[in-house]
Structure 1
Amino acid sequence: MGNRLNGKVAIVTGGNRGIGLAIAERLADEDAVVAVGDLLDRRSAEAGKPGKVSFLPLDVTDEASIRAFVDEVLERFGRIDILVNNAGMVIHKSIDDQTAEDWDKLMAVNLRGPFLMAKYVVPEMRRVGSGTIVNIGSVEGYMVNPWHTAYAATKAGVHGLTLGLAVDLGPDGIRCNTVCPGWIDTDLNRAYVEMHPDRSLIERELSYLHPAGRIGAPKEIANAVLWLVSDESSFVSGEMISVDGARTKKIPLPAVLDEEYRSKLTEKQA
């Protein structure tokens, strides 16, 4: 714990669990006051850091909800210094099975939401002459899993939004960057793994995909976000930063040719 964000007010969307909650708690650890916006499950509204993390209702697909949320944050805390656009969703469907409604829903949550959040937060950042925006993108913004056409399109769009905001808002003292997670051990991903009859096999195979020899933890995404919203990254803007254990840097090989590499990872895990 420290005080790198002392006096700062941060917004984290989709912060009720997983990566978003880890981000909210990490920023609070550094003395930020954090407003989490989510489609609230009231059972989890007591989570987080008492006195430092507030949970407020927010639907990022609804412009009126966003306006009301930003107004409430300003009324409660008087300023907004940090925006983390974390809210997101994924749909696993082939292009044949995707509907226009599927496409529109993903776009509304994953891309239109960050745009609207920035639209309503930026005037307040501009008023104080500084601010930082971090979008949670994905490695699927530049590499794609099967049946994720719509999801990948939204995340590539988030990367483009980041570039545009960094350029347009730089003169106002506002920075914008994107964190691109690899496979992270969240409740959602864990549930996906547990659906498979051989969970240990899936966990091993996922580890092999990452030269770091393991999958990531939510706190590791949170640490990257913390650096990007702190003064330690004051000359960093318009960047897409992968936090993926080098997964996107390794050229895939057939398993039979990759055997020696896999054995080294296995030794490391032992």
Structure 2
Amino acid sequence: MINLDNKLAIVTGGGRGIGRGITQQLLNAGARVLIAQRQPLNNELAKHPQISFIKADLLEQQAPYEIAAAAEALGGADILVNNAGFMFEMALDDMQEEDWDRMMTVNMRAPVFLCKALLSQMRAKGGGSIINIGSIEGIGANPLHAAYCASKAGVHGFSRALAVDLGTDGIRCNAIAPGWINSDLSNDYINAQNNPTQARQDLHAMHPVGRTGEPNDIGAMVVFLASEASGFVTGQTFTVDGGRTAKLPLPF
């Protein structure tokens, strides 16, 4: 079992969805977790002795530095998980510059400058692990997702470049590209279909493992990449999608 005892992990958006699964798996491995997000934590997380919280809006330019200050007060960051992000569907015809800028600010600028804000802490500790949550839409695309796909492809590319630049500091950087992960939002989407039962069956059939993903599936990969078990792994994007993107589509 991987042991992250006494390590401090920062997880943006760590209180819900994929971030909640990441937080849980890090806690299971013994890490302390600083959750940074706009929404307050639920009672279970708020009372957990290994969890700290900072309210942060990643649209704000100062947010990365406020998060870094909170981490410094807790002894400095060993692990950073840039998980928070958002998505909208919009045709390029309808997209305005402010729509594009909002997507890039949250999904790209905030992760980049949170990495920058934490470099001195990781260097002081002799190294660290940065894990950026991208998407299979940084590899392929769904309709009307031009801004989202561009932001996630940028996350993948930035992760590779950072691994090259920071390797001599003992800082590794990798990305994870999740596929379909179950959440309230994704369940609502399926339930809105004309035949939700059939929609779910068809969705499962797209996955060689026969199911869709859970937040803990992403959390398990985060724990591996945060640990010394992956000490020779950097600059990679790991697709965690139940084999969905490996399976060639057939018309029947």
Please report the TM-score for the alignment, with normalisation by the length of structure 1: 0.90
Q: Which has the higher contact order (CA 8 A, sep 6+)?
A: 2
Larger Rg belongs to: 1
Q: CA RMSD in A?
A: 1.4
Distance 1:3 1:179, change over 3 A: closer
- Sequence identity percentage: 43
| 1:66 matched residue in structure 2 | 64
Please name the residue that 2:6 is paired with: 7
What is the DSSP-based 3-state SS (H/G/I as helix, E as strand, rest coil) of the residue aligned with 2:39?
coil
Q: Match of 1:86, as an amino acid?
A: N
Corresponding residue for 1:160?
Answer: 157
Higher mean alpha-carbon deviation, 229-238 vs 95-104, is at 95-104
Task: Give the letter aligned to residue 40 of structure 1.
Answer: Q
2:49 and 2:106 map into 1 onto residues whose CA distance is: 28
Aligned to 1:192: 189
Matches of 2:9 and 2:59, distance apart in 1: 20
Give the direction of change, closer, same or farther, for the CA distance of 1:227–1:37 in structure 2 (3 Å limit).
same
Q: Contact 1:45–1:55 (CA<8 Å) still a contact in 2?
A: no
User: Residues 212 and 242 of structure 2 are in contact (CA less than 8 Å); yes or no, is this contact kept in structure 1?
Assistant: yes
Equivalent pair of 1:25/1:53 in contact (CA under 8 Å): no
CA distance change for structure 1 residues 105 and 31 in 2, over 3 Å: closer, same or farther? same
Shift of 1:41: 3.3
What amino acid maps onto 1:52 in structure 2? Q
In the alignment, residue 52 of structure 2 is paired with which amino acid?
S
Aligned pairs for 1:54-203 (under 5 A) are 54-75=52-73, 77-203=74-200
Mark the runs of 5 or more structure 1 residues left unpaired by the alignment: 256-270
Post-superposition CA distance 1:241-270 (Å, at most 9, x none) = 011011111111112xxxxxxxxxxxxxxx
Alignment check: 8 A CA contact 2:131 2:174 kept: yes
CA contact (8 A) 2:172 2:234 kept: yes
Query: Does the residue aligned with 1:63 lie in a helix, a strand or coil?
Result: coil
Give yes or no for the alignment of 1:21 onto 2:15: no
The residue that corresponds to 2:38 in the other structure is: 39
Superposition TM-score, scaled by structure 2 size: 0.96
Deviations, residues 165-216 of structure 1 (Å, cap 9, x unaligned): 1000000000000111010101221122222232111111111111111111
Aligned-partner Cα distance in 1 for 2:200–2:114: 36
Deviations, residues 119-159 of structure 1 (Å, cap 9, x unaligned): 10111101111100000000111100111111000000000
Contact 2:179 2:213 in 1 (8 A): yes
Aligned residue in 1 for 2:240: 243
Q: CA deviation at 1:65?
A: 2.1
Distance, in Å, in 1 between the alignment partners of 2:151 and 2:96 is 15
Question: How far apart, in 2, do the equivalents of 1:46 and 1:140 lie?
Answer: 32
Q: CA deviation at 1:118?
A: 0.3
